[in-house]
Structure 1
Amino acid sequence: MNDMLLIRNVLALEKNVIRQELTDVLIGEEGLVLQVGAGINAPDNCREHDMKGAFISRGWVDMHTHIYHGATDLSLLPEQIGMRTGVTCLVDCGSAGEANFKGFRRYIAEQAEERIFAFLNLGSIGLVACNRVSELVMGYRSVDFDRILKVISENRSLIRGIKIRASQVITGDLGIECVRLAKKLARISGLPLIAHVGEPPPLLDEVLPLLEKGDVITHAFNGKSGGNIMEDPLTFALAKEAQSRGVVMDVGHGSASFSFEVARFAFEKGLVPDVISSDLHCHSFAGPVFDLPTTLSKLIALGMSLEDVIECVTIAPRRVLSESVNENWLVPGHHADFTVFTVESVDFQTLDSMGSELQIRKFILPQLAVLGANWKECKSRGLELLTTGN
């Protein structure tokens, strides 16, 4: 869509502040913000959208997705979970390894409308067959330091971290040594380590002390026996201490990795998410995750504020990705990257990954996603399916 875009009557939301004055935003044909202010005169060849008091934020980032469609047995297409759901930036979390990253770049990142980044899997083959064939199936022979570092060097614009699935079904007898290996690679390459946690071994108690500021625990609020932060006071204390030194706690909902009970427990004790991501893939797309807006609405229902929830999909993930976070983001001259959304009153129940129910009364519903000169009207599959009972 190459016309100018005029977004009328929005309230800007940024880091615990909702600006109270309605404003208009004019975006030019080249994708730059041209004007911001009340009562902008619409130029010729301009599409107008009156948002009637909706919120506008930086474009949403979903920091844990699987979008290497066709090359893995669990990945979705970017367009299924991207701009049409309010998400302008998708991060693939370990679907590709060094042996098949070239295809990810050529057929996914370079073709998508959304901004695309990746966390490179420690294992050479990535998630070709996910849990049926571990990326570490050959033990240490599944990890090639030289090739991994070469692929990172050649793809710095895309690769923003190293991914390790630190669960027994993946690591097998290697246990915690896989995490040590991944951490060494992360240090050498100057990238954060993203550690998936779940079924031990390795124990979360072993993983947490290895992580440094900027590293990420994804599935931080999972409910798996022996692998969650609620069962053992020592584990919870280690998680709190890790967060205090800058380790990022990411929701990473997924089909098996988010527990309302664990989240409530952690929130009451002061451990809340730094990042909210969906872990959308083929096995979570039809529920319980559906999309990022549904995940955000669950966190609202668990007690997080709207401002904090939006920060968890705007500022916080951009910092993990080493993307610039300018204070003055809604100003002329900047590249347009926005999500416009409303907060709708609803009344229905939804599920976590454990089958537990949660009453949803406020739903964060995307209306418009803008990235450069491209824009999309948005919707939420989750809202549609949960309110119709399908």
Structure 2
Amino acid sequence: MYDLILKGGRVVDPASGLDGMADVAFADGKVAAVGPDIDPAGAPVRDVTGRIVTPGLIDFHTHVYWGGTSLGVDAERIARRSGTTTFIDAGSAGAGNFPGFRAHVIERVAPRILAYVNISFPGIYGFSKNVMVGECGDMRLVHPHECLAAARDNRDIVVGIKARIGAKAGGMSGMAPLHLALEVADKLDLPVMAHIDNAPPSQKEVIEVLRPGDVLTHCFRPWPNAPIDGKRNVRAEVLAARERGVIFDIGHGQGGFSFDSTRTMFDEGIYPDIISSDVHILCVDGPAHDVLAVMSKFMALGMALGDVVRCVTANPAAALRRPELGSLAVGTPGDATVLELRDEPVEHVDVSGERLRADTRLAASGIVIGGAWWADGDAPA
């Protein structure tokens, strides 16, 4: 009857309101049963006693066009060590190279990859330790008709339009790339993900044009363009965006996450909607590493396990308009992550170099994709 059973674990599935000991059974690529003491009836069994079983982790902000862009990392390598079963690529490819991303990476790897299309035709093409050219710095590359066609032709895997705004990504283009991204997104009824680095423009200008369901990534970034002012007050435009339904995504990366900003936001009762890594070639070995490392940082900052899991399962799935990806309910896609909470000292680092010590961290023990055991965890120390 079943193809695989995960037996004896603590199932943490916020979408289903479940946090307790249970078995999870899979059949025909889907979740078939969740409950105590499921009879294997001859099915393969994985003993996950002492482990945590969650819906397959969704890393909502990544760059996994490996080999086709200079910032891309290998999705399968990151999946094994982090327990990620679904990667959302945040605009690595634009209309000019999206077919290559689809054919050479998305359709060839085991983890699921969905993508935002970059409003800039070549995508993120000049990104390395020694070369940094913002793809929106030359408005000749920002062509809404090309982006619209690429997104429309790939609607099965496209989840939105990406615009990187700021002095680094856009030079003196200001708000123009974001306005064009919003035009394309409106035409297709898709959300926009907005990156903000250094001014110009200001975070205020960017955040005030975002609509309900659009995503502000790097939402807890350090100064400049931090969500807090010099007196450590949450900025009014941030509160207004939160109120109208803009989605707050961490997007740790090399420059997008600050312990200081996060503590202040927490003090005001403001938590992220989504925890993501923004993993790419310059942060894959630190400070971001992967989504599991970022989850551990948020637990070290005081977030409960269940709340952290919600931010990498149910919440991103809802933002993607694919709620079935964030749950272990019967009939949902058969993706699951097996985690271990290890009692061992760890020193976390944010993008400003601040260090935070903790006594526990999460590690990946294994992954189920499509109802089959895909890989054992290989989490780095």
TM-score normalised by length of structure 2? 0.92
Deviations 1:241-271 (A, max 9, x none): 1012110111100112111111111111122
Which residue is 1:335 aligned to? 333
CA–CA distance in structure 2, aligned partners of residues 283 and 245 of structure 1: 34
Summarize the Cα distance change of 1:145–1:327 in structure 2 as closer, same or farther, 3 Å threshold: closer
> Aligned Cα RMSD in Å?
2.1
- Residue type at the aligned position of 1:148: C
Give runs of aligned pairs for residues 20-169 of structure 1, distance below 5 A.
20=20, 22-28=21-27, 30-44=28-42, 46-130=43-127, 132-139=132-139, 141-169=140-168
Summarize the Cα distance change of 1:232–1:241 in structure 2 as closer, same or farther, 3 Å threshold: farther
Deviations 1:268-301 (A, max 9, x none): 1122110000011111111112221111000011
CA–CA distance in structure 1, aligned partners of residues 248 and 5 of structure 2: 37
1:352 to 350, 353, 356: 350
CA–CA distance in structure 2, aligned partners of residues 326 and 295 of structure 1: 20
Any conservation in 1 of the 2:53–2:339 contact (CA below 8 Å)? Answer: yes
CA–CA distance in structure 1, aligned partners of residues 74 and 290 of structure 2: 13
Which residue is 2:361 aligned to? 363
Give the deviation of 1:353 after TM superposition: 0.8
Where structure 2 has 5 or more consecutive residues not aligned to the other structure, the ranges are none
Give the deviation of 1:83 after TM superposition: 4.5
Summarize the Cα distance change of 1:137–1:209 in structure 2 as closer, same or farther, 3 Å threshold: closer
Any conservation in 2 of the 1:290–1:381 contact (CA below 8 Å)? Answer: no
Please state whether the residue corresponding to 1:107 is helix, strand or coil. helix
Give the deviation of 1:377 after TM superposition: 4.0
Which residue is 1:387 aligned to? none
Give runs of aligned pairs for residues 1-390 of structure 1, distance below 5 A.
4-15=3-14, 17-20=17-20, 22-28=21-27, 30-44=28-42, 46-130=43-127, 132-139=132-139, 141-225=140-224, 227-232=225-230, 236-325=235-324, 329-331=328-330, 333-379=331-377, 381-382=379-380, 384=381
Summarize the Cα distance change of 1:191–1:134 in structure 2 as closer, same or farther, 3 Å threshold: same
CA–CA distance in structure 1, aligned partners of residues 272 and 229 of structure 2: 18
CA–CA distance in structure 2, aligned partners of residues 361 and 18 of structure 1: 26
- Residue type at the aligned position of 1:350: H
Give the deviation of 1:31 after TM superposition: 1.8
Give the deviation of 1:13 after TM superposition: 1.6
Give the deviation of 1:328 after TM superposition: 7.3
Any conservation in 1 of the 2:336–2:368 contact (CA below 8 Å)? Answer: yes
Summarize the Cα distance change of 1:194–1:127 in structure 2 as closer, same or farther, 3 Å threshold: same
CA–CA distance in structure 2, aligned partners of residues 74 and 374 of structure 1: 30
Any conservation in 2 of the 1:59–1:314 contact (CA below 8 Å)? Answer: yes
Give the deviation of 1:235 after TM superposition: 6.5
Summarize the Cα distance change of 1:312–1:380 in structure 2 as closer, same or farther, 3 Å threshold: farther
Give the deviation of 1:14 after TM superposition: 2.7
- Residue type at the aligned position of 2:370: G
- Residue type at the aligned position of 1:371: I
- Count residues with an aligned counterpart: 375
CA–CA distance in structure 2, aligned partners of residues 276 and 23 of structure 1: 26
Any conservation in 2 of the 1:11–1:18 contact (CA below 8 Å)? Answer: no
Give the deviation of 1:26 after TM superposition: 2.4
Any conservation in 1 of the 2:60–2:276 contact (CA below 8 Å)? Answer: yes
Moved more, 91-100 or 167-176: 167-176
Moved more, 319-328 or 281-290: 319-328
Summarize the Cα distance change of 1:62–1:221 in structure 2 as closer, same or farther, 3 Å threshold: same
Any conservation in 1 of the 2:55–2:337 contact (CA below 8 Å)? Answer: yes
Moved more, 172-181 or 201-210: 172-181
Where structure 1 has 5 or more consecutive residues not aligned to the other structure, the ranges are 385-390
Give the deviation of 1:43 after TM superposition: 3.4
Give the deviation of 1:84 after TM superposition: 4.4
- Residue type at the aligned position of 1:138: D
CA–CA distance in structure 1, aligned partners of residues 19 and 348 of structure 2: 31
Deviations 1:128-181 (A, max 9, x none): 223623212432x21222221111111001111111111112212221222222
Give the deviation of 1:88 after TM superposition: 0.7
CA–CA distance in structure 2, aligned partners of residues 281 and 328 of structure 1: 27
Any conservation in 1 of the 2:315–2:326 contact (CA below 8 Å)? Answer: no
Give the deviation of 1:18 after TM superposition: 4.5
